[in-house]
Amino acid sequence: MLNFILLDGAAAAPAGSGGGGMSMILMIVAMIAIFYFFMIRPQNKKQKEIRNFREAMAKGDKVTTAGGIHGRVRDIKDNTIVLEIADNVKITVDKAMVYPSAQDAVETGADQNLKK
């Protein structure tokens, strides 16, 4: 009985698997394309926008740190910036941990991509 099942299954397999391999490859390619256009590409675009903001940062810009501290840029050094978070209260933070202020983005229209 076991031999009959194995032989019968083996005989039926070649007839049905003619195009199965190609359709599987097309499905994998489609999944990769979906991941690229919906996950990888938008993330790269967002990182590029943040990098451009950090390069163009100037004294007086409103920023938010990765920890949620809001302040205004007072001095820019090589890898650090000095933020004024209150009157006569200044802190030094790493340049890589600074993002554009949400309020500033709304005022300049930088959030246009989020509305689309």
User: What pLDDT was estimated at residue 101?
Assistant: 82
Residues 96 and 70 both lie in one domain: yes
- Given a cut of 90, is residue 21 above it in pLDDT? no
Map residue 18 onto helix, strand or coil: coil
Within 10 A of 76 (CB to CB), how many other CB atoms are there?
Answer: 15
Residues 63 and 42 both lie in one domain: no
Q: How many residues does the chain have?
A: 116
Rg (CA), the chain: 27
Q: Is residue 10 part of a domain?
A: no
Q: Is residue 73 part of a domain?
A: yes
- Structural domain harbouring 86: 59-110
Name the helix (H) or strand (E) containing 47: helix 41-56
Kindly give, in sequence order, each residue whose CB lies less than 8 Å from that of residue 59, ignoring residues fewer than 6 positions away. 73, 74, 75, 76
- Given a cut of 50, is residue 42 above it in pLDDT? yes
User: What pLDDT was estimated at residue 114?
Assistant: 40
Query: Whole-prediction pTM value?
Result: 0.59
